[in-house]
Amino acid sequence: MTHDEQKALLTIALAAAFADGAGTDAERGEIRRVAESLPGAADLNLPALYQDVLLKRASIETAARALTTPETRELAYVLAAGVCDADGAQSAPERAFLASLRAALGLSGAAAQAIDAGADALATAPLAAASSFEPPPAAKAAGAAATPVATTMPAAEMDKMILNYAILNGALELLPDSLASMAIIPLQMKMVYRVGQAHGYDLDRGHIKDFLATAGVGLTSQYVEQIGAKLLGGLLGKIGGGLLGGVGRQATSSAFSFGTTWALGHVAKRYYASDRTLSAAALQETFSSLLGEARTLQQRYTGEITSRAGTIDVKQILSEIGGKVR
């Protein structure tokens, strides 16, 4: 992928992140942090690109003209749809943005509709649905509802479940298939749901989004960071491509998702075990501390993550989470 294509794709991804106004200073600040910290940021001058997009000096029409193949144009739309759906189903401003992007990219209605349907399905997938690639859920205690009870999952089993999600998400980041990155946030939400359920809480999507935001995990910025690392690491290729890269690329592309997932699982475990009494400051401090621990832990599981990536069927995972695949 050329320098100009990388810049165009990141321009479109950042524009998608701001399509709904990126409503809070915290959200804008997190997206800026991502733009400035991505590997290769200096080569593309991503801080300047961030400013150009935020101040509307960069246009999606100009970016689209730099994408000269059907594959890169479709990839641009997949990335934009994923960004728009990262924090939930598309809002009206996001749908308007995607309509403008379709026109700029010259995508057919049928192709764009299939991508939108898949992204929306992932964004609204049932949290409680079981999947064959996940460890079996523990039985819920009789009468357990939204009030705290003793956990229905032994601590060792919960730790294993969290690690399983972290390894799976780390493996997904090794795949060049752009659809693989779309699965990571829904899988994190399912993991938090199961941790809460084991402690007697029947969580909904809104509560989990609030929990993640309080812990300091921006869903939109996380997705931008995932796809940015893949693009700049040369790992993101055609939709549906095969496994590329190895340990070196894993260090820059999958360590982030492994670490974020593992830290989220364990901060959720502490939060719901404490009867949701941890303050926002305590949640953020705990999450930050666990991220540091996860970076060391990830190195121990490099081989398992790489091995898992070689056996993943992305279409099966997307289908089981709730996404529609072509």
- d(CA 197, CA 8) in angstroms, rounded, equals 42
Q: What angle do CA 235, 40, 286 make, to 5 degrees?
A: 85
CA separation, residue 46 to residues 23, 51, 156, 292 (Å): 21, 9, 42, 25
**Residue % of the chain over a pLDDT of 90:** 37
Higher pLDDT, 173 or 188: 188
Contact 119, 84 (CB under 8 A): yes
Note the pLDDT of residue 176: 75
Position 74, amino acid: E
Q: SS3 string of the chain?
A: CCHHHHHHHHHHHHHHHCCCCCCCHHHHHHHHHHHHHCCCHHHHCHHHHHHHHHCCCCCHHHHHHCCCCHHHHHHHHHHHHHHHHCCCCCCHHHHHHHHHHHHHHCCCHHHHHHHHHHHHHHHCCCCCCCCCCCCCCCCCCCCCCCCCCCCCCCHHHHHHHHHHHHHHHHHHCCCCCHHHHHCHHHHHHHHHHHHHHHCCCCCCHHHHHHHHHHHCCCHHHHHHHHHHHHHHCCCCCCCCCCCCCCHHHHHHHCHHHHHHHHHHHHHHHHHHHCCCCCCHHHHHHHHHHHHHHHHHHHHHCHHHHHHHHCCCCHHHHHHHHCCCCC
- pTM across the whole model: 0.83
Mention every residue, 6+ apart, whose C-beta is less than 8 A from residue 55. Answer: none
- What is the Cα–Cα distance from 306 to 237, expressed in whole angstroms? 18
* pLDDT at residue 27, rounded to an integer: 72
pLDDT of 23 over the 90 cut: no
- pLDDT(134) > 70: no
As given in the structure block, the two tokens for residue 161 are 């479940």
Residue 90 has pLDDT above 70, yes or no: yes
280-300, pLDDT tens digit by residue?
Answer: 999 999 999 999 899 889 889
d(CA 139, CA 142): 9
Q: List, for residues 183-198, the tens digit of each pLDDT value.
A: 888 899 999 999 999 9
- N-to-C CA span, the chain: 24
pLDDT at 2: 83
Report pLDDT for 253. 63
For range 127-150, the mean pLDDT? 51
Mean pLDDT on 44-48: 85
Q: Write out the two tokens for 303.
A: 């081989």
| Number of other CB atoms surrounding residue 243 within 10 Å | 16
Q: How far is the C-alpha of 313 from the C-alpha of 131, rounded, in Å? A: 13
* In the chain, % of residues over pLDDT 70: 83
**pLDDT (0 to 100) of residue 6:** 87
**What domains are there in the chain, each with its CATH number?**
3-121 (1.10.3680), 126-321 (no CATH)
Whether residue 84 has pLDDT greater than 50: yes
Q: Which pLDDT score is estimated for 319?
A: 76
Task: Answer yes or no: are the C-beta atoms of 193 and 265 closer than 8 Å.
Answer: no
Token pair recorded at residue 138: 């523990």
The per-residue pLDDT for 294 is: 92
pLDDT of residue 239: 45
Distances (CA, A) of 261 to 143, 149, 171, 185, 292: 30, 25, 12, 9, 13
Asked if residues 120 and 313 have their Cβ atoms less than 8 Å apart, the reply is no
Q: Which single residue is written with the structure tokens 């995990």?
A: 217
Considering 21-35, 140-154, 258-272, the range whose residues carry the highest mean pLDDT is: 258-272
CA dist 142 → 145, 150, 152, 200 (Å):
9, 12, 10, 10
**Distance in angstroms (rounded) separating the CA atoms of residues 191 and 273:** 15
Give me 6's structure tokens. 């990388």
Please state, rounded to an integer, the average pLDDT across all residues of the chain. 82
Report residue 155 as tokens: 């601590």
Quick check: 165 and 187 in contact, CB under 8 A? yes
